[in-house]
Each structure stands twice: as C-alpha cells, then as structure tokens.
C-alpha cells in the first residue's frame, strides 16, 4: 500500500471506532444559511464607498471617491504625477529623475475599467509596461525598478476596505505586488457591502468555482503591506506596496 492509501485507511479505521472521543459522530456541516456575516456594512453605493474609504484609510491606505469615469481618469494621472514628484523629492540627489519614474506596471487597457486611460497616460509621458511573460529574464529585470502599479479589481468589500485582485492572461500578479505604490481602480459596480455578499452573488450565479480556477491566483488585499515583527513597531511596505491608493468611481452600472 502506498503512503496515500495507508494514511486514508488509517483515518477510516479510526473514524469507525465507536468510542472515539473526537470528532462527535453527529457532527454536521455548517449550513450555508446559518453561516454568519462577520463584519457588516449597508447602504447605497455612495454610503458603501464612504465606508470603504474609511476602512482603508484606517489601515494607512488612501482613497478618492469620484462621480464619473472621466473624473477618475484625471485623478489617476494626477496621482501618478504626484507620486513621481514624491519619489524624486525623497531621493535628495542632484539628478533625482530616473527613467523608470515614467513607467507604470499595468494591466491591459480592456481590464482597467477607465476608458481612454492608455492614451491619457501616453500624452502625459507615462509608459505603460504590460509584461507578457515574467519568467523571461529581460521582462523580469524590466519591471524590477518600477515604482507604480495600476490594476482594477474583481471585487471590493466596503466592510473591511478590502479588494480582490485576480490573475491570468495579461493580468499580472506583479502589478499589485512588486511596485512600491499600487493604484487600484474600483468602479462602484464592483463594490459589495461585504466579502460574504460577493461570495453569495458568485455562488448563486454559478460563477464561484470558475472564478477561483480561472484566476490561478486570487488575492484579497486589505491595505498596504506591513509588519509589527520588530518589537511591535508598525512598519509599512515590507514586501508588497507601501502605498495603496484606491480610486472609486460611479460607473453607472448595477
């Protein structure tokens, strides 16, 4: 018998014993209708957006709420420009500007939810970097020093200030992970009161299984990277982005 079968048959044999102190023979699965929603949030889209902003800000992230996608587009450009200036000011060297300051690690245009963004970035002088294969050493090296990443999200949860980023195709995982600053674009149609509400919608639409399997990596992100490992001192930006900024906008859907 191989290891797998040995382990499984041992477990089966143990669980057949009548006097086993644990687990109780009558143990039943937690029924979906019983399962609690842990953190609550309610209200219309704007109320939810405000709650999201409040939660994310409490985690040292930041947020802007905008009424339309074109306003969001302007906000993205302004934010990127401001970040670039901040980076250069931080360097305190005579020639503070670096070529990668103008790079933004992006998801493809069709997935960014904001129409006309690529052209607008280009007009401002920003370069969109959309890697196609990060195991290619050249592409890998190309993204190493990029300081800003832009992605959209699968969903966002107002109650905890979290958003979910997917992967697969040209949705690089790196865009929300390796840069120092991450800009998350969240249309109101992707904003849910809670994680539980999002899961319930996906489940009832029969899309939950496919959502997990197609996005080979699905990450729930709640604020900027941090650690308190050094005697409880909170430090930000350990491996993931130190700066997380969400732009929420009313896309008029739903």
Partner 1 sequence: MQINIHAPYKDRVQQALGDSNLRAAVSKATDRMTDARLAAMGAIEGQTLRAQVRQMKEHVLRQWPDYLLQLEMNLRRNGCIVHWAEGIADAQEIVKDIALQNGADLVVKSKSMATEEIHLNQALEEAGLRVVETDLGEYIIQLADEPPSHIVAPVIHKRLEEIAEVFEEKLDMPPTREASKMTALARAKLRREFFDAGMGISGCNFAIAETGTICIVTNEGNGRMVSSMPRVYVAVMGIEKIVPTVEDAFLQLQALCRSATGQQLTVYCSMTSGPRQAGDADGPEQVHVVLLDNGRSGMLARGYGEALLCIRCGACLNVCPVYQEIGGHAYGGVYNGPIGAVISPALAPEIARFKELPHATSLCGACREACPVQIDLPRLLLDLRSDLVEQGAAPKLEGWGIKGYARVMSSRRMYEKLGKLASISSNLYANLSGGNIQFLPPPLSGWTAYRDFAPFAPKSFREWWRERKLQ
Our CB check for partner 1 shows the closer of 73 and 147 to be 147
Q: SS3 of 82, please?
A: helix
199 near partner 1, rule: CB under 8 A:
yes
- Looking at the Cβ atoms of 10 and 91, the one nearer to partner 1 is 10
Scanning 66-74, 83-91, 119-127, 237-245 for contacts with partner 1 by CB under 8 A, the matching segment is 237-245
Would you say 151 and 176 are in contact if contact means Cβ atoms under 8 Å apart?
yes
Work out how close the CB of 239 gets to partner 1 at its nearest, in angstroms, rounded to a whole number. 4
Length of the chain: 254
Residue 231 C-beta: closest distance to partner 1, Å = 4
Cis peptide before 23 (omega within 30 of 0): yes
- Report the site for partner 1 in 200-229 (rule: CB under 8 A): 200, 203, 208-209, 212-213, 215-229
Distance CA 154, CA 185 (A): 10
Is 177 among the residues that bind partner 1 (CB under 8 A)? yes
Return d(Cα 157, Cα 56) in angstroms, integer: 10
Return the residue of 1, 18, 29, 33 that touches partner 1, per CB under 8 A: 29
> CA–CA separation, 97 vs 38, rounded Å?
47
25 binds partner 1 (CB under 8 A): yes
The one among 34, 44, 90, 138 contacting partner 1 by CB under 8 A:
34
Span interacting with partner 1, options 73-81, 87-95, 116-124, 198-206, rule CB under 8 A: 198-206
Sequence-distant (6+) residues with CB within 8 A of 163 are 153, 154, 155, 156, 157, 184, 186, 220, 221, 246
* Cα–Cα dist 236/225, whole Å: 6
Q: Cα angle vertex 187, ends 84, 181, to 5°?
A: 25
Q: Is 24 in the site for partner 1 (CB under 8 A)?
A: yes
Q: How far is the CB of 29 from partner 1 (least distance, A)?
A: 5
Pick 133 or 253: Cβ nearer partner 1: 133
* DSSP single-letter state for residue 232: T
Q: Looking only at residues 74 through 113 of this chain, which bind partner 1 when binding is defined by CB under 8 A?
A: none
Q: How far is the CB of 207 from partner 1 (least distance, A)?
A: 11
- H or E segment to which residue 165 belongs: strand 162-165
Of the two residues 137 and 253, which places its CB atom closer to partner 1 in the complex? 137
Residue 24 DSSP label: -
Nearest CB to partner 1, comparing residues 161 and 249: 161
């Amino acid at each position: 018998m191989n290891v797998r079968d040995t382990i499984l048959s041992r477990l089966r044999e143990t669980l057949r014993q009548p006097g086993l102190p644990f687990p109780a023979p009558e143990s039943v699965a937690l029924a979906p209708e019983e399962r609690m929603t842990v953190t609550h949030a309610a209200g219309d889209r704007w109320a939810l957006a405000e709650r999201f902003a409040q939660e994310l800000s409490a985690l040292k992230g930041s947020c802007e709420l905008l009424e339309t996608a074109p306003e969001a587009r302007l906000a993205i450009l302004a934010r990127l420009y401001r970040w670039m200036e901040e980076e250069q000011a931080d360097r305190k060297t005579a020639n503070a500007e670096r070529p990668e300051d103008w790079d933004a690690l992006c998801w493809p245009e069709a997935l960014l939810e904001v129409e006309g963004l690529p052209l607008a970035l280009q007009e401002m002088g920003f370069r969109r970097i959309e890697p196609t294969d990060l195991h290619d050493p050249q592409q890998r090296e190309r993204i190493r020093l990029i300081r800003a990443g832009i992605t959209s999200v699968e969903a966002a949860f107002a109650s905890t200030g979290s958003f979910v980023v997917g992967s697969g195709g040209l949705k690089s995982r790196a865009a929300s992970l390796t840069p120092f600053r991450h800009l998350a674009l969240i249309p109101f149609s992707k904003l849910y009161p809670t994680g539980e509400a999002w899961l319930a919608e996906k489940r009832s639409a029969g899309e939950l299984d496919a959502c997990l399997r197609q996005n080979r990596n699905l990450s729930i992100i709640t604020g900027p990277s941090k650690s308190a490992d050094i005697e409880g001192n909170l430090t930000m930006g350990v491996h993931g982005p130190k700066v997380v900024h969400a732009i929420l906008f009313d896309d008029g859907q739903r």
